[in-house]
Amino acid sequence: MTEAIKLYEVARITLRSRWRYLWDMLGSTLFLGVVLFVFVKLWTVTYGAAGGTGAIAGFTLTQMIWYLVATETIIMSMIPIHRSIEREIKDGDVAIRLNKPLSFLGYHWSVFIGEGMLKGLILVLVGGVVAFLMVGPTEFSFLSALPLMLTFVLTATANFFFGALIGLLAFWTEDITGFYFIFDRLKWLLGGFLMPITLFPEWLQRIVEWLPFPLMIYRPAELAVSFEFSKWFELTWKQLLLVAGLWLVAQVLYRSGVRRLDVNGG
Amino acid sequence: MTAAQAPLAISVRGLTKEFSRVKKTGSFLKRMSPFSGVVENFVALKGIDLDVARGESLAFIGPNGAGKSTTIKILTGILHPTMGEASVLGLTPWKDRERLAYRIGSVFGQKSQLWLHLPASDTFELLSRVYELDRARYHARRKQLIELFEIGDYADVPVRKLSLGQRMRCEIAASLLHEPEVLFLDEPTIGLDPVAKASIRDLIRSANREAGVTVFLTSHDAGDIEQLCRRTVIVNQGQIVFDGSTNALRRDALTKKEIDLKLSTAIESFEPMTGVEVVKAKGYGLKLSVDTKTTGIDRVVGELLRRYEVEDIAIVSPPLEEIIATIYRGGNR
């Protein structure tokens, strides 16, 4: 319980700290408007060529644009946690974290969630307004708001551990940029960041279903545009399993990494 | 009870730390390859033994790369040693890091624990939760520190808007919030102006002498050492080369003393004396350096009084900074 209070307090102070730069954050999310505008034009042409108002890969044009709002929100709200962890390990700031009675990974998770919540909210608002103006509203029930918030936290947590695992490699290697680049782009491509995985060829969909990436982008975004409680339950337990697995690996990496911490000098 | 009899806050035996570095040589492609390179071992600490009594104020100093920060990081549980034993307040730092964290505080002069965009009071609030302080105890402690450190005027101003001196006051207050028994200070006055340095030293001194906090300080500033620490340990190339009282370091560590004379008549020439060198001779002033290993200071003074009509005389030890620098260089002790 006390650990939960500590993590909550770290998330709260992160939120307070970032709140002071709300307008800067809002300005930086305007890029999302440009991205959505381009995609609306592209998908309008695609849907037109496909014969008008029907669905492609199970998504109507409106759903497709709102799907993009969801995937962009997921990806753009995540801070580059791999970079923060790598920097702390390399320049010795890890000393400030480790001399407190607080879990290293727990601290970073709280910062990630705290900032992610604020950014996520802004992105949903900006993206929502743009999507609403361009393609109209999507189906949304207020009953789904709370479950979707939990899904956002679990999605963010899975993405956090994914980034943290790469960041923790800094205990062993000088530069993690290459690892991050490869795994992050794989996540984007195979997780359905730019298009739903139902648009992939049949054989690729079968492979992708076995990978963790759709649980980190596609599934939660799809749930956001067509919410069903049965899908939510299925996604939740799968995400819980994924988070538990990633947490376990992160613990092993952290515990063996911190033993070989090499912060020489002041 | 003398320091030697007091219960120990820190006890270290044979502490050794070896770092590995991968050295890359050869062509660009070879240097870029993660599989190339030669592993080089670098010994930062070579079997250090050290005891620090509770309530003691100890300066742990040495040149860059001597192993000071490595020692602090091992004693705070951040680094694991390669060999040896250490106990801080009865706990093994690298095994009981979290338990120990509740009982120690640390200030790294070049790294901040304060949230830059928020007032220091917000960091205090967070730390009160992290250290699980009882609310009443926290509020009383916070009030006490704000008064003692005189930070009431800016505890609610974002840290990034504070001067370095103000930030360091908040930084040390944050480290003392949970009433630690041992305070590790790594260059706490670095970059501060003389006035800010003096006030930070006052605060550390009061934590040590009034609250009984054991102070373990590393600093390159001789003023910090002289004014805060009764005992000094000098470490060089991973080994302890001096361990004694700061006064003894100043008094005995070097065999050189300076004699400053003001004469009644202007000096024209100085007849050489064994073990005596002229530092400066101008007008009525004469400054000599005496190697006390060769010639006793009493004999030199007697000879000077016989030779000259002296208006004023002062025998001074070299500045602590010079003594330390000489020891760092492995010079005369």
Residue-range domain boundaries for chain B: 55-76+97-251, 255-316
pLDDT band at B78 (very low <50, low <70, confident <90, very high): confident
3-state SS class at B209? helix
Chain A hits for B42, Cβ within 8 Å: 264
* CA B272 to mean position of chain CA atoms: 40
- For A5, A16, A97, B72, B139, the CA distances from A100, given in Å and listed in that order, are 15, 21, 6, 15, 20
- Rounded Cα–Cα distance for residues B269 and B175 (Å): 58
Averaged pLDDT score across all residues of chain B: 86
pLDDT in tens, B116-166: 999 999 999 999 999 999 999 999 999 988 988 888 898 899 999 999 888
Which of B114, B105, B219 is closest to B162 using CA atoms? B114
> For the stretch A145-168, what's the b/e string if a residue is b when 16 or more beta carbons lie within 10 angstroms of its beta carbon?
eebbeebbbbbbbbbbbbbbbbbb
Q: Between these two residues, B332 and A199, which has the higher pLDDT value?
A: A199
* Model confidence pLDDT, tens digit, residues B294-313: 888 888 999 889 888 899 99
Q: Which one of B19, B97, B117 has the shortest CB-CB distance to A20?
A: B117
Q: What is the pLDDT of residue B294?
A: 84
- Label residue A111 exposed, middle or buried (CB < 10 Å: 0-12, 13-18, 19+): buried
pLDDT at A14: 94
Which residue is listed with tokens 């949970």?
B178
Residues of B in contact with A95 (CB under 8 A): 73, 76, 78, 106, 108, 111
**Mean pLDDT confidence for B249-260:** 77
CB-CB contact of B51 with B75 (8 Å): no
3-state secondary structure (DSSP) of residue A153: helix
pLDDT tops 60 at residue B3 = no
Side chain identity at residue A76, one-letter code: M
Cross-chain CB nearest to B129 (options A5, A21, A96): A5
Residues of A in Cβ contact (< 8 Å) with B64: 265
Task: Answer yes or no: do A20 and B73 touch at CB < 8 A.
Answer: no
For A31, B109, B277, B278, B289, the CA distances from B308, given in Å and listed in that order, are 86, 51, 17, 15, 17
Integer Rg of chain B from CA: 25
Rounded mean pLDDT, B283-296: 87
Predicted confidence at residue B328, as pLDDT, reads: 76
C-alpha–C-alpha distance, residues B125 and B94, integer Å: 27
Q: Tell me: the pLDDT tens digits for B193-241?
A: 888 888 888 888 988 998 899 999 998 888 888 889 999 999 988 899 8
What pLDDT sits at residue B29?
67
In 3D space, the residue among A101, A123, A107, A141 whose CA is nearest the CA of residue A12 turns out to be A107
What per-residue confidence (pLDDT) applies to B5?
A: 56
Which ipTM did the prediction report?
0.85
Write out residues in chain A with pLDDT < 70, as ranges: 52-53, 262-266
B40 neighbors B87 (Cβ within 8 angstroms) = no
DSSP A197: G
The CATH code of domain B55-76+97-251 reads 3.40.50.300
Task: Please tell me the distance from the alpha carbon of residue A217 to that of residue A220, in angstroms, as a whole number.
Answer: 6
Collect all residues of chain B within an 8 Å Cβ-Cβ radius of residue A104.
Answer: none
CA B80 to chain centre: 22
From the CA atom positions of chain A, what is the Rg in Å?
19
Q: Which residue has the tokens 């109209």?
A: A136
- The backbone torsions φ and ψ at residue A179, rounded to the nearest 5 degrees and listed phi first, read -60, -45
The residue of B64, B126, B176 whose CB has the most chain A CBs within 10 angstroms, and thus the best one to mutate to test that interface, is B126
